[in-house]
Amino acid sequence: MREEVGDPERLVSRSELEELADLFDRFEFALDPLSAKAREAESEFENKVRQLFSSRIAPKYPDLGLSVFRCGVRTWCRRFLQKSSRQ
């Protein structure tokens, strides 16, 4: 069952991840990777990932590095985008 926004059980909510997936889509799969829009989306994605990591992930998982967290978010975004485009 999908958790709702603000689910206290999740450090990162589905809606936050979906927002990240939207940004990820706009730069990772940009048809023009050199466009300003793609660069802005990437910068915003990176800022949000860093913010989530420092405010919620690092305090609970001190051994988990930012780069590993970023990997997890990126892979989640890929799978989410693939599944949502099939629907």
81 belongs to the binding site for other proteins (CB under 8 A): yes
Decide if residue 78 touches other proteins (CB under 8 A). yes
Residues 6+ apart with CB under 8 A from 58: 64, 66
- To other proteins, the closest distance from the beta carbon of 31 in angstroms equals 5
Q: In this chain, which of 17, 44, 48, 66 binds other proteins, going by CB under 8 A?
A: 17
Three-class SS of 4-67: CCCCCCCCCCHHHHHHHHHHHHHHHCCCCCCCHHHHHHHHHHHHHHHHHHHHHHHHHCCCCCHH
By the rule CB under 8 A, 82 interacts with other proteins: yes
Tell me which of 5, 26, 31, 44 binds other proteins, using CB under 8 A: 31
Q: Look-up: residue for tokens 């978010």?
A: 73
Binding site for other proteins (CB under 8 A): 2-3, 10-12, 14, 17, 25, 28-34, 57, 61, 64, 67-69, 71-76, 78-83, 85
